[in-house]
Structure 1
Amino acid sequence: MSVTFNGKSGEVDGDGWNLMDTDNRSKYRCRPQISVCWIGAAVVCLVLLLTMIMVAQNTSAISHWDTKFEKLIYEISKSRDDLRDERDQLKIQCSNLTKEMESLQSQYNTLAASRDKLQEDIDMLTHNRTDKPCNHGWIKFNNKCYYVSPNGVTKTWENSRKDCREKGADLVIITTKEEQDFVSGRNGVSWIGLHRGESEDEWKWVDGTGLVDHGFWQKDEPNNSDGEEDCVEVSSAAMAWNDVPCKRKFSWVCED
């Protein structure tokens, strides 16, 4: 193949290339200043794009945090309101309790007044009783009436109590030293209204009350020596109590 090169025109004849000359090619070469400008513009756009992305992300994060803060504020506000409601309920309950306490105090005052009035009535009845004479055959002592069985007449503890109850009274209940001395001096040995309760160490009066303090026992009494000493007698010799079997027969003293 033959190639003819024309240096001026840059053409290649025949089967070769037809190239522009050097001057013409220089017109279409990229200028460095224009390339730099385009690169700068691209960088600026990229920075703007990244900035927009970051702003969008920050905006989304801020929106997310705003939502969380709003929820937190709502919960705090709700808790505050609930506490206020609870406080108001407690105030109402406190007020109701105060009113109830005042009502109870008023009731107590009323009951106390009634109690005092009953005590006055009891005192008056007691006073009136002191003026009441004892029945025929009864002995008056310290504003009480006593019946002493006839000398030489004896009964068991149960039958002695039966006799007292038929007279509208009961076996004597001794509560004072003066009464003890009075009863002890009536007969040789007399039944009184004291008997053993459910246990060996329990003593009860005929009215169901228990023995107060030590009582007026003889020395080393009560001893329940034979295991059946469940009733109590008082003797003029010892001037004190002794537990004996209830089936024994003694005089007795009733108290109205």
Structure 2
Amino acid sequence: MAALQLELFNKERGELKEQLDLCASQQTSLLEERDELKKKLDDFIYYSQQQWVYLGGSFYYISSNKRTWQQSRDYCLQKRADLIIVNSKEEQTLTRQWQDNMWIGLTDREKEGTWKWVDGTPLITSYWGINEPNSFGNREEDCGEVRLHKFENNWNDESCDVQRVWICEKKLPQ
């Protein structure tokens, strides 16, 4: 009788240990999820307070002063963002709301004629203006800008040393 009780006790103890291990694993997952959500909330609060514009999962900062393309990108990187990667019609529409020529995160500095975004992805959908990109007058025009804001297709290649306003994008994690 005592042997049977001991066997039942050990079986129950094993089942309780499995339940405890499962609860500990679930607790770890919930803590990780909580931390991830807290970081998202902290980012949302930070960028909202800094007057960034929220649209479709990203925050955008539109500068009021002018810098070169690289200086603009450096500013964005300091803010844990980067120059905008225009990968939707909504983002292209956003860039057209301002009247100044504006840097975007597009360049062919690495290889002439091979346009890439700042994250290294190749350009697929584009909004180049008529006869652009063209390296006008045999100038080195390796950086992308938005200009002629009344037209949807308004991108231009420009010398990276020209000073423009710019737009940063901070993608929030999904």
Q: Name the TM tier (shorter chain).
A: 0.5 to 0.7
Identity %: 39
2:155 aligns with: 241
Q: Which deviations, in whole Å up to 9, do the C-alpha atoms of 1:205-246 show, x marking residues without a partner? A: 111111114x11001100112330000100224442000100
Give the conservation status (yes or no) of the 8 Å contact 2:68–2:163: yes
1:223 aligns with: 134
Structure 1 residue 253 corresponds to structure 2 residue 171: no
Give the conservation status (yes or no) of the 8 Å contact 1:231–1:246: yes
1:172 aligns with: 84
What is the TM-score normalised by the length of structure 2? 0.66
Structure 1 unaligned segments of length 5 or more: list them. Answer: 1-124
Mapping of residues 88-103 of structure 1, within 5 Å:
none
RMSD: 2.4
> Hey, what's the Cα distance between the residues in 1 that align with 2:77 and 2:99?
20
Structure 2 unaligned segments of length 5 or more: list them. Answer: 1-35
Give the conservation status (yes or no) of the 8 Å contact 1:170–1:254: yes
> Hey, what's the Cα distance between the residues in 2 that align with 1:132 and 1:249?
30
Letter in 1 for 2:103: W
Q: Which deviations, in whole Å up to 9, do the C-alpha atoms of 1:139-198 show, x marking residues without a partner? A: 011121000002xx1110010111111111110000011110111213421100000043
Q: Runs of 4+ in structure 1 displaced over 3 angstroms?
A: 128-135
1:24 aligns with: none
Give the conservation status (yes or no) of the 8 Å contact 2:82–2:118: yes
2:15 aligns with: none
> Hey, what's the Cα distance between the residues in 2 that align with 1:201 and 1:230?
9
Give the conservation status (yes or no) of the 8 Å contact 2:109–2:143: no
Counterpart of 1:163 in 2: which secondary structure?
helix
Letter in 1 for 2:165: S
Q: Which fold has the larger relative contact order, with Cα–Cα distance below 8 Å and residues 6 or more apart in sequence?
A: 2
State the structure with more CA Rg: 1
Counterpart of 1:164 in 2: which secondary structure?
helix
Aligned residue pairs total 129
Letter in 2 for 1:183: T
Counterpart of 1:178 in 2: which secondary structure?
helix
Counterpart of 2:72 in 1: which secondary structure?
helix
Q: Give the helix-richer structure, 1 or 2.
A: 1
> Hey, what's the Cα distance between the residues in 2 that align with 1:186 and 1:227?
26
2:95 aligns with: 183
1:97 aligns with: none
1:139 aligns with: 53
2:62 aligns with: 148
1:77 aligns with: none
Letter in 1 for 2:160: C
Mapping of residues 13-52 of structure 1, within 5 Å:
none
What is the TM-score normalised by the length of structure 1? 0.46
Structure 1 residue 161 corresponds to structure 2 residue 104: no
Q: Which deviations, in whole Å up to 9, do the C-alpha atoms of 1:18-50 show, x marking residues without a partner? A: xxxxxxxxxxxxxxxxxxxxxxxxxxxxxxxxx
Letter in 2 for 1:199: K
